[in-house]
Structure formats: C-alpha cells, structure tokens
Amino acid sequence: MPAAQTLRFLIGPLVLLHEQAGPRLLRLTRLGLFALWFFKLCLDPLWRLADLPRSLFQPIGILALLPQGAMDALLQPGSLTIFLFATLAVLALGLTDRAFPVVSTLAAILLTAYSCLIRGFGPAVHTDTVALLAVYVLAGFAWADYFQMKFSRGKKSPDAWSSYPLVTIVALLCLSYALVGYNRVVRGGLPLFMGDTMEVWAIDASLRAYYFNTNIGWHIPDWPFVVFMLKAGLPAITFLEMTAPLCLISSHYRWIFMPVMLSFHFLSLVFMNIFFFDDMLIYLLLVDWSRRFPSLRRSRE
Amino acid sequence: MSVVIIALIIGVTSFSPYALVPFHVTGQALLLYIVVRGFCYWPPMVEWIKSMPGFHRAMFALLLGGMIVGHYTLDSRTFYPYVTWFIFPTIRDEDPVTCREFIATTASGKKVRLLVEQLFPSIVQIYPLDDPKHYSDKQIDALAQSLATAYNQHHPGDPVRGVEFVVLAVELHPPASASPTEPSCQLLKRYDFSSGL
C-alpha cells in the first residue's frame, strides 16, 4: 500500500462531529448537563463555607463586583443555603426544558456565582469550568434560536440548528486542552519535558490531598516504572492536548484520544488526587451519537 | 505564507531589544493561529459555519472568542470562568518536595489529617499553606481552629484535643539503600484545644 494511502487509512474519514445531530440529541445534552450540575450541587454542603475564616475569602469573577456588605451577607449559613436551593430550583426547572432561554440564562448566572463562591478560598482552578461554559453555550444558542426565529417571522427552527451548541461544546472542551498544551510547551519549553518536573508536580499534588485522597502519590520516588511513566507520559499527553481540536473532525483520532486521556485522568486521580469528573461526562459528546442512532439524527430539509 | 510572516512578527515583538510582548503570549498565539487556519481551510468546517444563521454565527464566535481572550488576559481571578489554561506549565526541580498541613490528635489519641477540601467539600482547592502571599500567621491560626471545629461537628464522640501544623517532605531521589517510607514530618506549631474550642 503506498504511503499516502496508508496515511489516509490511518487518518480515516474527516467528518465534522455532530454535523447530523438533531433536536433529540440536543435535548439529551441539555438534560445531561443540567442533571450533572443538579446532582453536583445536591451533594454540596455549601453552607459550611460560613465556618471558614472570612479573612481567607477573596472574591473572584462576578463576586468581586459585589459590595463588601453584600458579600458578608452572602457568606452566612442561611444565605448560602437559600442560594444553594435557589440554584437547585432553577436547575430543576432547566430539566423540564420550559422557557429554556430564560431558565438557562438564570442557571448560567447562578452557576457562575456558585463557581466563584467555591473558588474564593483558593485559586481559580479549572475543575468544572468547561461544564460551566457548556451551560453558557446552551443558554447562548437558545437565545440565538429565539431571535433567529423571531426575525425569520416565526418559522419553525430547522433541525440543523441543533448541531451548533453540540459542536461548540466539543470545541470548547478541545480548546481547553489545546490551550493547556500550548501554554505548557511555550512556557516550559524542552527543559520541562527533560527533568523531574512531572515527578515533582505529582508528589506535590499527592501530598496536598484534595477531596479524593489516595495516599499513593508520595511513594512515586520508590517506583522507577511510575517515574518513567510520568516522564514519558508528559510529552505524549501534551501532544494529544495540543492536537485535541482534531477530535472535531476525525473519528480515528477520537478513538485514540478518548482512551488515552481517560486513562490519564484516572491515573491523575490515583497518583495526584486530582479528578476532572465533569469533563469525563462531557467526553460523552466525543461520540458521534447521531451517526450511530438514526433517531438522534436531524431530519432532511 | 501568512504563518511565516506572523512567525517573523512574533520574532520581532518578542525577541527584539524592545520585547514588547513576552514570548509565552506570542508563541501560544502562533500555535493557536495555525490550528484556526487549519480549520479555515477545511471545506466542511467552512460550509458548516457559512450555513449558520447570523445570530448563531455571532454566538459561536462570541463563545469561542471569549475563551481565547480569557486565556490571554492571564488573570483567571478577575475574568473567571474565562480563565488562563495553566496546568503544569512551569519547571519544578525542588528536592525534597514539601507541603504544610494540619494533623489533629483526638480525645482517643487518634491522629487525623485536617484537610480543608474534605471538611469543606465545596472547596475544590485552597492555596498551598506554605505560601506567605496568601496566609498570615493569624490566618493560619484561625484556619486551624475552623478545621478543628468542623471536625468536631462530625465527630462529637471523639473531638480534637490538639492540632499540629507540620511540614511534610518527600525526597525526590532517596538513597538506593533507603526502604520505602512515609513522608518525613516536621512540627512547625502546636495548638492546644484540650480546654475546648
């Protein structure tokens, strides 16, 4: 087989992910994303934040716009409980798909405030940021549908519009990986991949013990194979991160990307106590469901 | 061709004696530009974007553009959720690797780690406790008390009697003869809560 043909075979067909997606898949995505946030918040005893020293709280994002008095009032157990239940109520409403542009916008605002609140005692970490941006996508495109329908004089929205938010969510997920990769390569350069950097990061993260706490990572120096795996894995993972946008167009690439990155995230949990639970659920959108299940496909116009 | 020109511009802006924009910004911009250009030349993508009605196209540009602009603000705290995507980007070579934490002794004599992220599960991550930029001594004392109080609320039968603020250390290159061990632990400060919190 000539080289060009072999390469073409390896790359596989290049087709835009979710191009054929119909309203049912969009509805399922809305349901999945709102359910994810709903269950996440159900498990969160947010009111406990009031027991932490107030002096440690430094408002971030939109919370920094609130006056000091309002911020103090919000950080009371009662206010935090009311805020949590109000957000849960809006998310529950979002699950019904009624008045979706308004409800999803409200949900986006409340979830942004919630995400800023839980980050006020520490750095603006990336966990669940893509899941939050995905809510922005659903809200934004719901308004775009609304205005487009209004300006095209009440015509029913074409099924093709369903693919826009789905492709955008996957694009944001891929872009987040790509930006992480570019940042690492440009800032760290070659020395980052040659030395003990990954080993240090892993031990450091394992010592810090976040919510998940495996107590394994600090043994890394005793396990040469794991040290080798970390050193060899960093450039491989960085390469996949940098090329993540290919997930949008190549099914062959996705079948490499998904198992490798899922294993990477799982190993991050084992050795570093870090887990991007929300991103893992968004990975479901890396499967082109509408090509597999005709009922999720849009009707031909 | 345009990529070459842009690379030249980056060379001039980042590596000239004036160095207007740091390379970690322009270098990333070049990589991103290459990817975006790649997609612009891929007919199905062009067709898909062209087929979008105006409002949808604007929304698509706004959402993706927001994420890219947010990344280049290099200020995640102000513009959250439009953050700088910054994961393991710097070289680290410290040896040993250290970390400060609180270890409590309960009434039954049990030793327990007091971790903010576990006692307050809302919090994803706090700043490392050894960072003087984020914690004064007074704040560390207040945090020790809050953690002990939170622990007691969930374990009223075996409350905290004392808390030690310690520094844990793991050697990156332990001597070959050394047997695998737990991290070494050095006491920094002791808090006595035996008379109650």
Residues B33 and B61 in one domain: yes
- Mean model confidence pLDDT for chain B: 89
Residues B33 and B105 in one domain: no
Q: How far is B149 from chain A (nearest CA, A)?
A: 9
Distance CA B160, CA B105 (A): 6
Helix/strand/coil (H/E/C) assignment for every residue in chain A: CCHHHHHHHHHCCECCCCCCECHHHHHHHHHHHHHHHHHHHHCCCHHHHHHCCHHHCCCCHHHHHCCHHHHHHHCCHHHHHHHHHHHHHHHHHHHCCCCHHHHHHHHHHHHHHHHHHHHCCCCCCCCCHHHHHHHHHHHHHHHHHHHHHHHCCCCCCCHHHHHHHHHHHHHHHHHHHHHHHHHHHHHHHHHHHHCCHHHHHHHHHHHHCCCCCCCCHHHHHHCHHHHHHHHHHHHHHHHHHHCHHHHHCEHHHHHHHHHHHHHHHHHHHHHHCCCCHHHHHHHHHHCCHHHHCHHHECCCC
* In a domain? residue B27: yes
* In a domain? residue A2: no
A116-120: average pLDDT: 96
Residues of B in contact with A110 (CB under 8 A): none
* Vertex B106 angle, CA A217 and A216, to 5°: 10
Residues B101 and B66 in one domain: no
A12 has pLDDT over 90: no
* In a domain? residue B104: yes
Number of Cα atoms under 13 Å in the Cβ half of residue B95: 12
Residues B112 and B74 in one domain: no
What is the tally of structural domains in chain B?
Answer: 2
Percent of chain A with pLDDT over 70: 97
Interface test with A, best of B31, B46, B79, B123 (most A CBs within 10 A): B123
Interface test with B, best of A104, A172, A183, A223 (most B CBs within 10 A): A183
State the pLDDT at residue A152. Answer: 80
B102-123: average pLDDT: 94
* In a domain? residue B92: no
Nearest to B35 by CA among A135, A245, A226: A245
- Mean model confidence pLDDT for chain A: 91
Closest to A197 (Cβ–Cβ): which among B92, B99, B127?
B92
Interface test with B, best of A17, A49, A56, A273 (most B CBs within 10 A): A56
In this structure, what token pair is assigned to residue A261?
């990155």
* In a domain? residue A142: yes
* Contact present, A244 and A257 (Cβ < 8 Å): yes
| End residue of a domain, out of B44, B79, B114 | B79
In this structure, what token pair is assigned to residue A155?
């015509």
Q: Is B142 in Cβ contact with A56 (below 8 Å)?
A: yes
* In a domain? residue B55: yes
Q: Is A245 in Cβ contact with B146 (below 8 Å)?
A: no
In this structure, what token pair is assigned to residue B166?
């310690």
**What is the torsion angle, in degrees rounded to the nearest 10, for the CA atoms of residue A238, residue A239, residue A241 and residue A246?**
180
A21-35, A188-202, B18-32: the lowest-pLDDT one? B18-32
* In a domain? residue A65: yes
A111-139: average pLDDT: 95
* In a domain? residue A268: yes
| End residue of a domain, out of B79, B111, B131 | B79
Q: Is A164 in Cβ contact with B56 (below 8 Å)?
A: yes
* Contact present, A273 and A210 (Cβ < 8 Å): yes
Peptide bond into A123 cis (omega under 30): no
Closest to B52 (Cβ–Cβ): which among A117, A164, A184?
A164
Residues of B in contact with A197 (CB under 8 A): 88, 90-93
Domain around A34: 18-296
Residues B106 and B181 in one domain: yes
pLDDT tens-digit series, residues A174-202? 999 999 999 999 998 898 998 899 999 99
Residue B189 host element (H or E): strand B184-192
Judged by a CB distance cut-off of 8 A, whether residue B139 touches chain A is yes
Residues B108 and B176 in one domain: yes
State the pLDDT at residue A76. Answer: 96
Residues B134 and B54 in one domain: no
What is the tally of structural domains in chain A?
Answer: 1
Count other C-beta atoms under 10 Å from residue A260's C-beta: 14
* In a domain? residue B88: no
B16-41: average pLDDT: 85
State the pLDDT at residue B181. Answer: 66
DSSP state of B103: E
* In a domain? residue A9: no
* In a domain? residue A4: no
Residues of B in contact with A191 (CB under 8 A): 91
State the pLDDT at residue B74. Answer: 86
A64-68, B17-21, B103-107: the lowest-pLDDT one? B17-21
Q: Is B52 in Cβ contact with A122 (below 8 Å)?
A: no
* In a domain? residue A176: yes
Interface test with A, best of B10, B86, B88 (most A CBs within 10 A): B88
Distance CA A149, CA A180 (A): 37
A259 has pLDDT over 90: yes
Residues contacting residue B190 through CB under 8 Å, at least 6 positions apart:
B162, B163, B164, B165
State the pLDDT at residue B67. Answer: 96
| End residue of a domain, out of B51, B79, B107 | B79
Q: Is A51 in Cβ contact with B93 (below 8 Å)?
A: no
Residues B104 and B146 in one domain: yes
Helix, strand, coil fractions of chain B, as percent rounded to 5: 45, 15, 40
**What is the torsion angle, in degrees rounded to the nearest 10, for the CA atoms of residue A212, residue A214, residue A217 and residue A218?**
110
* In a domain? residue B102: yes
Phi, psi values for residue B19, rounded to 5°: 40, 65
Residues B104 and B182 in one domain: yes
State the pLDDT at residue B12. Answer: 81
* In a domain? residue B156: yes
A32-42: average pLDDT: 96
Residues B46 and B19 in one domain: yes
Distance CA A165, CA B62 (A): 12
State the pLDDT at residue B4. Answer: 82
Domain around B64: 2-79
Nearest to A40 by CA among A78, A6, A75, A91: A91
Three-class SS state of B162 = strand
Instruction: State whether ipTM is beyond 0.95.
Output: no
* In a domain? residue B170: yes
Residues of A in contact with B39 (CB under 8 A): 245, 248
Judged by a CB distance cut-off of 8 A, whether residue B20 touches chain A is no
* In a domain? residue A105: yes
> What pLDDT band is residue A17 in, cutting at 50, 70 and 90?
very high
A25 has pLDDT over 60: yes
